[in-house]
C-alpha cells in the first residue's frame, strides 16, 4: 500500500512543480507548459490489440489466489466499466488514472494466452515525453518493448526493450545499461516474476545517469518528443507451464496481461516559447475537457507560432527561429518594413550578410518601395527628400521621357552627395538633354526610344546650311543658305549650282537665254544645256570652228549669183558665173566661204537675188572681194525690187535704185555701202553689182546690208515680233526680255523660249560656215535681230561686227 501512496505523492508534486514553472512567465527567458499525464482525457486515442470479453463473458483464473473463495472469474468488456453495473469490464481506458477510490477494482486485461499484445497511444500532435509508468495487476511481461513515433505512426523507433532474458528474447540488442543517451538497450530489471502484482515498469525519456550538456540539440529533442507511443508485450510469464501444449484450456486461462494503470508523463511541446497550451482541435465551447488534460496547442510567446511554437509568427522573421534556452528567450523579431508591407520571410544569407542583426526580407512592398526593409524606391520612382521613407508617399514616380532616358525612363532614386546623385534626376541618353530628357541636344534631332543614343546628329551639309550643326530637332531638317534646298541642305535649287564651291550657298546657273535650252545647269560644274555648237558653262561661246552669226545677217554667195554683162543685164546663155574653186591650204589662213570665188571680168557684174527678208527694215550692204591684181577696183551697186513694194516701211524710203559707187581698194577685202537700204519681206530684190577696172581681174563681190534704223545693240524691238508695227516699243535691257510685256499671261521664260525659237529659225537660215569654207565673194544681209545674250554684245558692237563670221585675214 505504501507503494501506491508514494506514486500519488509523486504525481501531486509534479503538478505543483509544473504550476510553479508555468507561473514564471515567458518574459524572462524560456518557459515551459506544465507536465501532466498525457493519457488523461484521451481514452479515445488509447487502443489495445487485445481485450478480454469484448464479445461476451470470458473466463479467466488467477494463480496463487489464496485469500478469496473464487479462483476463476468472468471478464465481460462489452460495456464500459462501471463499479456498479459493469464491474467485470476491462477495456484499455481502465488504465487511465482517475483518482477514484478503490483503485484496484479497475484494470485492463488481455485475452487469455496471447503473447503478442500491443497498447498504443495516438496523440494529436507532438508532445514532450518525460516518462512512462506501467503498474501491472499480474506478473509483468517476460519480454516487451516500447516504441514511439514522431510522425503520427509512419515511422517508429524503439525506445527500449525489457526482458527477463534479454539474450534469448532480443538476441541482437545489447543488454543495458546504456553507454550513452539514446542508446537502445534491453533492460532486464523490470521483467522479474516478482512481484506477482503491482509490479511497475518505468521508462524515462532521458536516462538520468547521463548528464546532458545541451538539452536543446536536435538529437535530444528527438528523444523527448513523440506523437505516438506503442507498448508491445511479446512474452507472458508462464511459471514453467508451456503454452505450446495447450491441452488444457484452464491452463491457458491463468496467463494474460493485466494492467492497473499507465501513466505517460509529458507536456505540450513548445520549444521553450509557451507556458500554456490549448486544445489542438478547436472544439465547440460546450465540449467538456477532462480536468488535468494536457493540451497540445502551445499558446506561443516570444513572437512564435505553430502548434509547438516551431516557427516565427507572421511578420516576425527578422531573426532566425530558435528554441528558447534558459534565460535566452530567442524571441522572433518583427520585420522592419517601414509600413509598406505586412509580410516578410527570413533569409539566412541576408542575415549572415547583416552580421546576424537582421534577416527578415519584406515581401510585396507597397507604395512603390522595395528592398529588404521596403526602404528604397522601386525603379522608375524616386525618394521625396522631404518625406520619411515610412511615408506612403515617400516614393514619387520618375518624370522622365522614356524615349530619351536611359533604361526607358529611369531616374536617380535618391540624393546622395557622395555618389553625386539627385533624387528624381532623369538619366538622359547621350544625345538628349532637358530635365525630362525629352529634348535632343543642340545639333541633334529625331528623339527616339529605339535609338540607344536618343537622338542622331544633324546631317547638314556645311557648305549649304546656315549653321551646319543646327537642324530641326524633330525632322532633322537643316536651315539652308540662299538657293540651297534639301533636308540636309545638300542640293542647289533648280536653276542654281555649285554647292560647296562658293562661300555661301549656290550660284545662279545664269544660262544664256539664247545659247541654252533652258536655265537648268549641272549642279556640280554649272554647265548649262547648250544648243548645238554652242559651248561654255553658260552657253555663251561658239564651239571651235563656229562663230556667232548675228541674227540679222544674211549671206549671199557670189558663186550663186547670176553673171551680168555691161550691156545686157541678164545673159541667158551665161547664167552661171565663172567659179574659181579653192581648197584650203594647210598653214595658210582661209579667207572665203562657199566653194571659192566667182570671177568677174572688168565691166561685168553679178546679180544677187534677195528674197528672204523676214521683216521690213534697213540693211547695210557690204561687199567682200579679193582682187587678182594689185589695182584698185570700183564697184557700182543698185538694188531694185522685182515687183511692187508693199510695206509702209520701205515705200517712202529711198531704195538704192540708182547705182551707188563703191571704192574697192586692192589692199582691202571688204567695202561697206554707207547708205542703208530698206528691204521689205515678200519682195524679191535684185542687187546688181558691176565691177570695173582698167585692168580686168577677179573680183570677189561682197554685198552686205545692214539695218540702219535698228536700235542700239543690246536692245530688241518688240515690233520685230509684231510685224514691225512700231519701233517705239523697243525693249530696254536684254536681261528683261521684251516679249514679256506684250505677251501677257505667258511666263517670262516661255516668252523667252518663243523668242529664241524664232531667232533660232533665222539662225538656221544663216547656218554658220566653217572657216575652212570661207570665200571672198558674198553678201551679208544684216537683219538687226534679237539680242538676248549679253556675251554677244561686245562682238556686235565691235567694228568687226558686221563682218562677224568672216574668215580671218
Ligand X SMILES: *[C@@H]1O[C@H](CO)[C@@H](O)[C@H](O)[C@H]1NC(C)=O
Binding site for ligand X (CB under 6 A): 49, 118, 145, 147, 230, 232
CB of residue 102 vs ligand X: minimum separation in angstroms?
Answer: 32
Number of Cβ within a 10 Å radius of residue 62:
18
Nearer to ligand X, 230 or 599 (CB): 230
C-alpha cell at 328: 535566452
CB of residue 147 vs ligand X: minimum separation in angstroms?
Answer: 6
CB of residue 189 vs ligand X: minimum separation in angstroms?
Answer: 20
Closest CA to 690 of 701, 678, 679: 701
CB of residue 216 vs ligand X: minimum separation in angstroms?
Answer: 29
Nearer to ligand X, 145 or 426 (CB): 145
CB of residue 111 vs ligand X: minimum separation in angstroms?
Answer: 14
C-alpha cell at 212: 546532458
Nearer to ligand X, 144 or 645 (CB): 144
CB of residue 49 vs ligand X: minimum separation in angstroms?
Answer: 5
Helices (H) and strands (E) in the chain, counts: 9, 48
Nearer to ligand X, 230 or 237 (CB): 230
Nearer to ligand X, 151 or 430 (CB): 151
Nearer to ligand X, 230 or 624 (CB): 230
Closest CA to 128 of 201, 1, 38, 14: 38
Question: What are the residues whose beta carbons fall under 8 Å from the beta carbon of 670, sequence distance 6 or more?
Answer: 622, 623, 624, 625, 702, 803, 806
175: alpha, beta or left? (left if phi > 0; alpha if psi -120 to 50): beta
Nearer to ligand X, 147 or 403 (CB): 147
CB of residue 184 vs ligand X: minimum separation in angstroms?
Answer: 11
Question: What are the residues whose beta carbons fall under 8 Å from the beta carbon of 401, sequence distance 6 or more?
Answer: 409, 426, 434, 436, 437, 438, 447
DSSP 8-class letter at 335:
-
Cis peptide before 157 (omega within 30 of 0): no
Collapsed DSSP state (helix, strand, coil) of residue 65:
coil
Nearer to ligand X, 191 or 232 (CB): 232
Q: Are 35 and 265 in contact (CB under 8 A)?
A: yes
CB of residue 141 vs ligand X: minimum separation in angstroms?
Answer: 13
> What phi, psi does 61 have (nearest 5°)?
-130, 165
CB of residue 87 vs ligand X: minimum separation in angstroms?
Answer: 29
Nearer to ligand X, 92 or 696 (CB): 92
E strand or H helix that includes residue 755: helix 748-765
CB of residue 114 vs ligand X: minimum separation in angstroms?
Answer: 11
Q: Are 80 and 96 in contact (CB under 8 A)?
A: no
Nearer to ligand X, 233 or 315 (CB): 233
Q: How far apart are the first and last CA of the chain?
A: 173
Strands (E), 341-467: 344-346, 360-362, 369-370, 376-377, 381-383, 395-397, 432-433, 439-440, 444-445, 456-457
Closest CA to 341 of 361, 321, 357: 361
CB of residue 364 vs ligand X: minimum separation in angstroms?
Answer: 48
Residue with the closest Cβ to ligand X?
A: 232
Give a three-class secondary structure readout of 479-516.
CECCCEECCCCCEECCCEECCCCCCCCCEECCCCCCCE
Residues 624 and 626: their CA atoms lie apart, in Å, by 7
Nearer to ligand X, 157 or 356 (CB): 157
Amino acid at each position: 500500500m505504501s507503494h501506491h501512496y508514494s506514486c500519488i505523492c509523486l504525481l501531486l508534486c509534479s503538478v505543483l512543480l509544473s504550476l510553479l514553472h508555468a507561473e514564471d512567465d515567458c518574459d524572462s527567458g524560456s518557459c515551459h507548459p506544465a507536465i501532466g499525464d498525457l493519457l488523461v482525457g484521451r481514452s479515445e486515442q488509447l487502443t489495445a490489440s487485445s481485450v478480454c470479453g469484448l464479445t461476451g463473458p470470458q473466463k479467466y483464473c488467477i494463480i496463487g489466489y489464496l485469500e478469496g473463495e473464487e479462483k476463476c472469474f468472468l471478464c465481460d468488456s462489452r460495456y464500459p466499466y462501471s463499479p456498479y453495473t459493469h464491474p467485470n469490464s476491462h477495456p484499455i481506458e481502465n488504465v487511465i488514472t482517475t483518482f477514484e477510490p478503490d483503485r484496484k477494482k479497475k484494470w485492463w486485461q488481455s485475452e487469455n494466452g496471447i503473447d503478442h499484445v500491443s497498447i498504443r497511444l495516438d496523440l494529436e500532435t507532438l508532445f514532450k515525453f518525460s516518462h512512462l509508468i506501467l503498474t501491472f495487476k499480474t506478473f509483468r511481461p517476460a519480454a516487451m518493448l516500447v516504441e514511439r513515433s514522431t510522425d503520427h505512426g509512419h515511422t517508429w523507433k524503439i525506445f527500449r526493450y525489457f526482458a527477463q532474458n534479454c539474450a534469448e528474447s532480443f538476441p541482437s540488442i545489447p543488454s543495458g545499461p546504456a553507454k550513452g543517451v539514446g542508446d537502445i538497450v534491453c533492460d532486464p530489471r523490470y521483467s522479474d516474476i516478482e512481484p506477482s502484482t503491482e509490479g511497475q515498469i518505468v521508462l524515462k525519456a532521458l536516462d538520468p545517469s547521463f548528464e546532458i550538456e545541451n538539452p536543446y540539440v536536435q538529437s535530444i529533442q528527438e528523444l523527448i518528443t513523440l506523437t505516438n507511443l506503442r507498448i508491445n508485450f511479446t512474452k507472458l510469464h508462464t511459471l514453467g507451464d508451456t503454452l505450446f501444449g495447450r491441452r488444457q484450456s484452464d491452463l491457458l486461462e491463468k496467463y494474460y496481461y493485466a494492467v492497473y494503470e499507465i501513466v505517460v508523463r509529458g507536456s505540450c511541446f513548445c520549444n521553450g516559447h509557451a507556458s500554456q497550451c490549448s486544445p489542438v482541435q478547436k472544439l465547440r465551447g460546450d465540449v467538456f475537457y477532462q480536468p488535468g488534460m494536457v493540451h497540445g496547442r502551445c499558446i506561443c510567446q516570444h513572437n512564435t507560432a505553430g502548434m509547438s511554437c516551431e516557427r516565427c509568427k507572421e511578420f516576425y522573421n527578422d531573426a532566425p527561429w530558435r528554441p528558447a534556452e534558459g534565460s535566452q528567450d530567442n524571441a522572433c523579431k518583427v520585420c522592419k518594413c517601414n509600413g509598406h508591407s505586412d509580410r516578410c520571410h527570413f533569409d539566412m544569407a541576408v542575415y549572415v550578410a547583416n552580421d546576424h542583426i537582421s534577416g527578415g526580407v519584406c515581401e510585396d512592398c507597397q507604395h512603390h518601395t522595395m528592398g529588404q526593409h521596403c526602404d528604397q524606391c522601386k525603379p522608375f520612382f524616386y525618394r521625396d527628400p522631404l518625406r520619411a521613407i515610412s511615408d506612403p508617399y515617400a516614393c514619387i514616380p520618375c518624370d522622365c521621357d522614356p524615349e530619351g532616358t536611359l533604361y526607358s525612363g529611369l531616374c536617380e532614386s535618391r540624393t546622395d552627395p557622395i555618389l553625386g546623385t539627385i533624387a528624381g534626376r532623369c538619366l538622359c541618353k547621350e544625345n538628349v538633354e532637358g530635365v525630362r530628357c525629352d529634348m535632343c541636344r543642340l545639333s541633334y534631332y529625331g528623339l527616339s526610344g529605339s535609338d540607344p543614343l536618343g537622338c542622331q546628329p544633324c546631317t547638314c551639309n556645311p557648305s549649304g546650311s546656315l549653321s551646319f550643326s543646327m537642324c530641326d530637332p524633330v525632322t532633322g531638317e537643316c536651315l539652308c543658305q540662299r538657293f540651297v534646298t534639301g533636308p540636309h541642305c545638300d542640293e542647289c535649287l533648280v536653276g542654281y549650282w555649285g554647292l560647296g564651291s562658293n562661300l555661301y550657298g549656290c550660284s545662279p546657273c545664269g544660262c544664256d537665254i539664247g545659247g541654252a535650252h533652258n536655265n537648268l545647269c549641272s549642279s556640280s560644274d554649272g554647265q548649262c544645256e547648250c544648243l548645238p555648237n554652242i559651248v561654255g558653262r553658260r552657253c555663251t561661246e561658239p564651239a571651235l570652228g563656229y562663230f556667232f552669226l548675228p541674227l540679222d545677217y544674211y549671206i549671199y554667195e557670189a558663186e550663186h549669183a547670176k553673171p551680168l554683162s555691161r550691156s545686157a543685164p541678164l545673159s541667158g546663155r551665161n547664167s552661171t558665173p565663172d567659179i574659181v574653186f579653192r581648197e584650203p591650204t594647210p598653214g595658210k589662213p582661209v579667207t572665203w566661204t562657199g566653194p571659192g570665188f566667182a570671177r568677174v571680168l572688168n565691166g561685168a557684174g553679178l546679180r544677187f537675188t534677195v528674197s528672204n527678208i523676214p521683216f521690213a527694215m534697213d540693211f547695210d550692204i557690204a561687199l567682200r572681194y579679193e582682187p587678182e591684181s594689185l589695182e584698185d577696183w570700183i564697184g557700182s551697186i543698185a538694188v531694185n525690187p522685182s515687183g511692187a513694194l508693199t510695206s509702209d516701211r520701205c515705200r517712202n524710203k529711198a531704195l538704192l535704185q540708182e547705182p551707188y559707187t563703191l571704192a574697192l581698194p586692192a589692199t582691202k577685202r571688204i567695202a561697206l555701202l554707207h547708205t542703208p537700204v530698206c528691204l521689205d519681206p515678200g519682195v524679191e530684190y535684185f542687187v546688181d553689182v558691176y565691177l570695173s577696172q582698167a585692168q580686168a581681174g577677179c573680183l570677189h563681190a561682197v554685198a552686205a546690208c545692214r539695218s540702219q534704223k535698228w536700235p542700239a545693240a543690246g536692245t530688241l524691238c518688240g515690233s520685230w515680233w509684231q510685224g514691225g508695227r512700231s519701233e517705239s516699243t523697243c525693249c530696254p535691257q536684254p536681261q528683261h526680255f521684251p516679249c514679256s510685256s506684250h505677251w501677257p499671261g505667258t511666263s517670262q521664260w516661255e516668252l523667252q523660249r518663243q523668242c529664241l525659237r524664232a531667232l533660232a529659225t533665222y539662225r538656221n537660215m544663216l547656218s554658220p560656215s566653217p572657216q575652212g569654207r570661207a570665200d571672198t565673194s558674198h553678201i551679208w544681209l544684216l537683219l538687226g535681230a534679237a539680242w538676248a545674250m549679253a556675251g554677244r554684245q561686245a562682238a556686235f558692237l565691235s567694228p568687226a561686227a558686221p563682218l562677224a563670221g568672216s574668215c580671218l585675214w
